[in-house]
Structure 1
């Protein structure tokens, strides 16, 4: 089968299109014929082997997993001996391993049934970016109607979902994004968009919740955009963040500081849950949420798409169709 592989860590040039043997499902895994996959920040971390601490899981000297990609939508081709939730021929979406390929493995507990009215290209964006944003807005930020919410990195994959979900919950949203992304963020429902190259994040006043997706600002700067009892959600580390922990030290500092502050500083890592996938799918089908699919590219163009992701130039979500 055709797949995007890499045998060493590096930037996008280590990725290449190759013919590889299809994987075989074991345990509670499913073999899924990929109809669409999507890029997320995790692809950059897995490709580059950064931050360095991540290599404890990815592989110290070279990547354990040769095939890149996590998010997917597709058709079940085969089931492992312990799988019970799905059968051959079922349409599913969620997260798997090596999804930039014609066939990929996925644990059945990281998948949900794809509704007929949900296009594969839209479904593929929900597995990592959608569920992470949902948990950040609903569970960690506890966003509710009438609140003012500020979102950094609002033009990226997770950020666009955070904007859309906060708007769906009745919040007034200010997005912080780079040049050329204001139209996209406004289209998703933001009342104001700040260009971070020209304006400070405090230019729109104080907010009840700040969701920091960009991951590259000091905590003190983010807290200045918060009300005295507001909530700061530290969601991302950013693809350009360096250091041993790749920005995760900000989450650790926030955890340590929060008990001594009136403001709440909360960090977390999103986990794909089937119930959350179904929640997002329902919202998309009903028109209450719109995945920001800004580009659909063939498998051979994954290295170019990852290069753009690493530069921070990606708008919304990029979907890959094998």
Structure 2
């Protein structure tokens, strides 16, 4: 009797463990099922359809017509607007991303403390990131930098500088949008604040004992310890910069003289103004390749400048 019971028990235990594992998986997947269903239906599905449409001539009102690689060939060979939009976007990203990160880090340094009312100041500085993409802010920005706007009035009152329509001037229109993006520094600022709180105070105390001043402590302690945070913010702002749309669409509509024709706005024009959906899908996949390449380069370079404390002893 005893010898027969042992094989039965040994056989039953793996089955029980398998049953428990299946039950745990079923419970877990039941919780994530809404998100998973939405991801498949509203992200993966549209991406597959968009990829297929990029090889077609599709005007929304008629059935798609397969044309192979013609959209991609036309984009690179016979479409000068594509190169203009790409150049404007690259210039915007190269200028706005470093300035935004530098400004958000500077504000985070100022707000990194326990003095009275610091929580209120942090909230106030974060507000522009919440409302920056709204139509009201776009209209406000257009009025501020318009011919009779507050910027011209202040410059004329303080320095006697004659007024100019900054939005309509081809030499300054892009800079007004760059200023708007820098003004929306709240999100990276909060992330920098969280990173500053993780830096051990003992490092600053030891550096102060050795005679290091504030500038030395910033570049020798703060910046190296914040490189993982800088890396994260850089990747996020890089992606956001390449896909910027609202500012150009609402404030300048791509003008003047296409100086603010962002890539995302050019894509939108082909999709919803010219109803050339197949061409727009090809533009979207080229943008994905550009953003993916830029992000991969940042990741590749991170080993040379990103410092992780866990690797210190390696």
Larger Rg: 2
- Larger helix percent: 2
Pick 1 or 2: higher relative contact order, CA cutoff 8 A, min separation 6.
2
User: So what's the TM-score if we normalise by structure 2?
Assistant: 0.23
